[in-house]
Amino acid sequence: MRRTTSLILILGLSCLLFMGLKLEIDKASRQKIPGSSIIYVPSGKYLKTATFGFSSLMADIVYIWAIQYFGNLAIPDKFDHFVHIFSIISDLDPRYVDPYEVGALIALYDTKDVSLAIKLLDMGFAKNPDLWIFPLEAGHYAQLYKKDFPLAREYYKKAMDIPGAPDIVKRLYANAAFKTMDVKTAWETWLEVYETATDERVKKIASNHLYNIKATVDIQGLRSVLEKYKAKYGRYPDKLSDIVTAGLLPYIPKDYDQKDYGYNPKTGDVKTAVIPWKR
């Protein structure tokens, strides 16, 4: 009998202790780590429920699926649920940065909807308030494509205040009130971000921007030369190197990754070799 009572004592004691610990742990840091996988949010609820403890993995899976889905040119109305899908990924793993990034790029290049892109970046920033890259990009798009200077300025301010933001953000903030962003400034911005960044992820994002800027400039240049060729010879050249032979350009530019641009001789269209957001 004495043994039983001491056993019951141990039982009760350990129970009380672990209950106390549990309350302590709940109070402690879980809530302070922003975007921990424990936060319960209604949307994406189904997936969260089905993936007890593996929500991070689920985020990966949904993201991978989303990439295939949005890369499928055949689906006409795929953007109807764009925000919903990306908010599911965000709910499952708020700290997963790639989806916000790539989502914004998809929005920009496929739907040409700048507000949509900015919305995604806002989502990313809300869940990761320590990442200055999000408001920087949002400001960049606002200034470059929407020409909404006050909005751009707001974003630059937000980015500026976050420790670790590069100096260029301060300069952008200063200039945003006065002018549209020209290509040169854009190029400089991202070059500086690229060179000063210590985070691989930020470097990647910066290089994407650099790629796109170069592509835009190159393709614009090529198109105007192609029109000149057509005016001169009555048709588009069969291949891009014909422009060089005709003496209209000293060389054909390659893209940021040193690859050739794609060219369609029938329509005179020049495209990038890869889908920009899949790079």
Partner 1 sequence: MTIKVIALNTFKEAIRDRILYLLLFFAALSILVSRVLALLTVGDRAKVIKDVGLASISFFGALMAILIGTGLVYKEIEKRTIFTLISKPMRRHEFLLGKFFGLVLTLLVMLVLMSVIFLALVFFHTSTVEWKLLLAILYIFIELILITAVAILFSSFSTPILSSLFSLCFYLIGHFSWSLETLIKKIPAGLLRVLAQIVYTILPDLENFNFKTEVVHGLTIPPRVLLYSVAYGLLYTVFILTLAVLVFRRRDFI
| Cβ nearer to partner 1, comparing 40 with 251 | 40
Structural tokens at position 44: 């994406």
Shortest distance in whole angstroms from residue 198 CB to partner 1: 13
In angstroms, what CA-CA distances link 88 with 77, 133, 277?
19, 21, 20
Q: What is the SS3 assignment for 130?
A: coil
| Cβ nearer to partner 1, comparing 30 with 230 | 30
What distance, in Å, lies between the first and last C-alpha atoms of the chain?
Answer: 73
| Cβ nearer to partner 1, comparing 69 with 79 | 69
Q: Are the CB atoms for 277 and 102 separated by under 8 Å?
A: yes
Shortest distance in whole angstroms from residue 180 CB to partner 1: 30
Question: For binding to partner 1 (CB under 8 A), which residues are involved?
Answer: 3-4, 7-8, 10-11, 14-15, 17-19, 21-26, 28-30, 32-33, 36-38, 40, 49, 52-57, 60, 63-64, 67-68, 93, 95-98, 101-102, 201, 204, 277-278
Structural tokens at position 1: 């009998």
Distance of CA 152 to the CA centre of its chain: 17
Identify residue 126 by its one-letter amino acid code.
A
Shortest distance in whole angstroms from residue 72 CB to partner 1: 13
| Cβ nearer to partner 1, comparing 24 with 77 | 24
| Cβ nearer to partner 1, comparing 61 with 248 | 61
- 247 phi-psi bin (left φ>0, alpha ψ -120 to 50, beta other): left
d(CA 218, CA 226): 12
| Cβ nearer to partner 1, comparing 95 with 157 | 95
Shortest distance in whole angstroms from residue 67 CB to partner 1: 5
Shortest distance in whole angstroms from residue 260 CB to partner 1: 22
Shortest distance in whole angstroms from residue 15 CB to partner 1: 5
| Cβ nearer to partner 1, comparing 91 with 148 | 91
In angstroms, what CA-CA distances link 75 with 68, 69, 70, 175, 239?
11, 8, 8, 41, 31
Shortest distance in whole angstroms from residue 126 CB to partner 1: 17
d(CA 262, CA 252): 12
Structural tokens at position 272: 């990038």
